[in-house]
Amino acid sequence: MAVLTTSATLKHSVDLPPQTTFSRAVSLLRNHDWLLRLDPELHSYTTSPTIPAPNVKVYNVIDNMEGIPKSIYDAKVHIEIQIADEEDGVEFLVHAPLGVVQRAKWKVVGEEGKWKLVIETVITCSRILMGIVRGKGDVNGPMMGRSFVELLEREAVV
């Protein structure tokens, strides 16, 4: 029922270190293993043999979401994530239980020496779940962006 479904848009951005190049930032985004491991709730994942398009990979992810009340869903949540490599970053399509769908674009924007990582997420789910899902996105998005920057900073020191 559409009346019980709602959507929300989240946008987070973080400045990348000045020595970061566009190609290095995009290359790091295309490292799906590393990108999936940025999720603080990741328990495990496997690669699915499904290939919906040439530049898309599908992952079966298990997240350990301790913050979800047990009356709503078990803490071990099975999620399908499709990641598409794009010119300026990656796009995620996430299908989670209880009808939760997220589409997120992680892209590198700006100009040489002034690059930013921009994360734009559109969440669609039940009105009942939106507070939980949006709350996790508001916390995890910026945290994952900071982890991305930290890796780029460590590379600059080496």
Ordered DSSP codes for 54-89? TTEEEEEEEEE-TTS-TTT--SEEEEEEEEEEETTE
Q: Class for domain 2-157, per CATH?
A: alpha beta
Residue range 19-34: mean pLDDT, rounded: 94
Least confident of 25-34, 68-77, 103-112, 129-138: 68-77
Query: pTM surpassing 0.85?
Result: yes
Split at pLDDT 50, 70, 90, the class of 158 is low
pLDDT band at 70 (very low <50, low <70, confident <90, very high): low
Average pLDDT, the chain: 89
pLDDT higher than 70, residue 109:
yes
Q: In this predicted structure, what is the pLDDT of residue 2?
A: 64
